[in-house]
Structure 1
Amino acid sequence: MHCAVSNDKCQDNFVPRASSAHFDIRYDGAPQDFFFLVLPRSMMLGVAAAIEPLRVANQITGKELFRWFILTEDGAPVRCSNGMQVTPDMALDDAPVGGLTFISAGGEPQLAAGEKTLNWIRKAARFGRPLGTINTGAFALAQAGVLTDQIFTLHWEDQPAFLEEFPNLTPSSNIFEITPRLISCGGGHAATDMILTLIEERHGEQLAIVCADMCLHMRSRRGSEPQRSNFAVAVGSRNRRLLSALQMMQDSIESPLSIHEICDKLDISRRQLERLFTRYLDQSPMQVYFDMRLHHAYGLMNETSMSVTEIALASGFNSATHFSRQFKRRFGASPHFFRKGWS
């Protein structure tokens, strides 16, 4: 597909001057086009990490294998989460038909996409345009109603908020997902892993390996890799019962288990469980569990518009008053003042 928009970038050949690295490839076909819709407060890292392997592939082969274009909703510059401003190549409505379009978002993703963007997404999905998401871009697709029955992922930090807003949609915990209908990643360096996989699928494994080396990126991760370090890494132990207890706690935030229930499931005495937590975490099981629930609430406070009462219930607190008191003790401000300070 050739870009139908007349601008300076379309006249460029997207092939930087050759460097000492070179990779021979037999390919004389049309380039593959990538479009990146950057929504306000997007994480710049994810977009840059997706584009750079495409640039490298062109540079080391000396061929225009890929082209990339930055879009914004109205064609005006947008400011990313790090405060830097991105100037687009074109407005969303000016993007030519065809090409894979990634929607990138970051903080406050539920507020990032305007109605114009949501309508564009609905139309794109209806006509079979290839779509993808980076970081929290899945929020926009969910708001547009096009995520049903699809496999997708988004950044782990925002998954609790996503599940609260869209309880019938379950994101994957993997770093990226590639399906015939949707390509998505959690953002950050996962975008590089995702794009390298797309390069491999189109032009072979050896090119992907060289591109990874040029990016100083150790290509050991595939899509099935989890986004977060597992509990064994986090706590420095492979004790099966300790790890199982932590996973049970993580899986039961909204309806907390009692310590007695956890012990029964593990076939372990309360004293044994207390010793494990004290040895490896220097806290009691109850303290660790309580802290998990408060951090879950902290995430919902930052990433959703849920009321304090709703957040309290979603974090396993029966009383909003008790929750507010504990939140202030842990984070230094009541939920109401905390949210006001970020507004």
Structure 2
Amino acid sequence: MIWTLEKQECIDAAGENNFVPSGIAFFPLNTVAQTRNFHFLLLPRFTMLAFSAAIEPLRIANQLTGKCLYRWHLMSEDGAAVQCSNGISLPADSAIGPLTRNDTLLVCSGLNGYSAARSRSLDAIRRHIRQGGSVGGICTGAYSLARVGILSGKRVTLHWENLQAFVEQYPYLEVSGQLFEIDGLVITCGGGVSSVDMMLALIATDHGTDLANMVADMCVLGMQRNNDTGQRKSIAAVINTRNPSLIEAVRIMNDKLEDKVPLCDIALQVNLSNRQLERLFNRYLGTSPAKYYKNIRLDFGRSLVCGTELAMSEIAFACGFRSTTNFTKNYRDRFGENPCNRGSTARYHRPDTAKP
């Protein structure tokens, strides 16, 4: 094999080829391509699945073509190893520092995504976007991007579990529930295997859809999903019924968490009597509409408790409870703990939600 200069640049000091492993499958790429560098900023308790799902398509693209199309570099705030949400620690290649304009910086976070990044990381993100570099968020990485004020006018996404809390905290931002979003220099995804979908879209842009499709095959992904695909199943799939009245009633409940709609009004909107609505919920969901509605609002409350630093009174109001006492009692009944026990990183004050 003839080693090109491009490929030599992907060999480490020990002479080992880190970025272009050999494999059986092959994809001929005859065009000369400039290597693209991805820098992954690992924040405490980041999600390993989302992180590895972002790196593997890059590795596979290199392996298939035999070219160093991509390099990746792992960073942490201080250069030390970072513990994932599953308890496994991954070593970083370096502490976060200045990047070149052509580099892509991806923020990887997971649990406590709203507070995972410290000032040094936030400064580095801000500096990179100001010099014209591309930045992104994986799983809950959009929180760090929002905190540095670079998402105004951008369409972004993050993991569906944190989506409603993010919207509550940053109501002026345009947030979607899609698998991923690529809006200019800002790229975000919902984490999990959606990281693969986002990277396939970038590979397709860089080197064509044929290579992206073959990378998808190597991932045993099947059909490549685009950014028009939502992260979650439809309401019909979630509640396992196609009854249109029940689907519509559940949709109304999900849409009206803060301004709770009386059950009699919901029944009227779906052309049912109160008694028919009760029977429908008990038959298909095994509970009353009142309890189902309350549980939806409590689940939303839990996402705010665990994913924001909003005051307890604000959380109670946001999910349709008119007093902190009432919210706390119902929260304890559902989850077996008080909402105030939300971890040492939380503080009871409103976060910075001023427009950048």
- Write the mapping of 1:91-240 to structure 2, written as runs, cut at 5 A: 91-240=95-244
| 8 A contact 2:43–2:82 mirrored in 1 | yes
Separation in 2 of the partners of 1:143 and 1:10? 40
Return the offset for 1:340: 6.0
Q: Do residues 28 (structure 1) and 46 (structure 2) align?
A: no
Kindly provide the amino acid, as one letter, of the partner of residue 282 in structure 1: G
- The residue number in structure 1 matching 2:70 is 66
- The residue number in structure 1 matching 2:332 is 328
Separation in 2 of the partners of 1:14 and 1:29? 18
Question: Percent identity over the alignment?
Answer: 39
Separation in 2 of the partners of 1:327 and 1:341? 19
| Deviation digits for residues 180-201 of structure 1 (CA, Å, limit 9, x no counterpart) | 2311100110000110111112
2:286 to 275, 282, 285: 282
Q: Which shifted more, 130-139 or 79-88?
A: 79-88
Separation in 1 of the partners of 2:221 and 2:213? 9
Return the offset for 1:29: 2.4
Distance 1:248 1:49, change over 3 A: same
1:43 to 43, 47, 52: 47
Q: Which shifted more, 296-305 or 135-144?
A: 296-305
Kindly provide the amino acid, as one letter, of the partner of residue 45 in structure 1: L
Runs of 4+, deviation exceeding 3 Å: 5-17, 94-97, 340-343
Kindly provide the amino acid, as one letter, of the partner of residue 249 in structure 1: M
Q: What secondary structure, in the 3-state scheme, does the structure 2 residue paired with 1:225 have?
A: coil
Kindly provide the amino acid, as one letter, of the partner of residue 296 in structure 2: M
| 8 A contact 1:13–1:64 mirrored in 2 | no
Q: Do residues 85 (structure 1) and 85 (structure 2) align?
A: no
Q: Do residues 339 (structure 1) and 320 (structure 2) align?
A: no
| 8 A contact 1:175–1:226 mirrored in 2 | yes
Separation in 1 of the partners of 2:345 and 2:291? 27
| 8 A contact 2:113–2:140 mirrored in 1 | yes
- The residue number in structure 2 matching 1:313 is 317
| Deviation digits for residues 192-234 of structure 1 (CA, Å, limit 9, x no counterpart) | 0110111112212221122112112223421111111111111
Separation in 1 of the partners of 2:306 and 2:146? 19
| 8 A contact 2:301–2:315 mirrored in 1 | yes
If each structure's helix is expressed as a fraction of its own residues, which one has the higher value?
1
Normalised by the size of structure 2, how large is the TM-score? 0.89
| Deviation digits for residues 295-338 of structure 1 (CA, Å, limit 9, x no counterpart) | 111222222222332221111111211222111211222323x4
| 8 A contact 1:14–1:58 mirrored in 2 | no
- The residue number in structure 2 matching 1:270 is 274
Kindly provide the amino acid, as one letter, of the partner of residue 139 in structure 1: Y
Kindly provide the amino acid, as one letter, of the partner of residue 342 in structure 2: R
Kindly provide the amino acid, as one letter, of the partner of residue 192 in structure 2: G
Structure 2 unaligned blocks of 5 or more: 1-5, 347-356
Separation in 2 of the partners of 1:221 and 1:17? 26
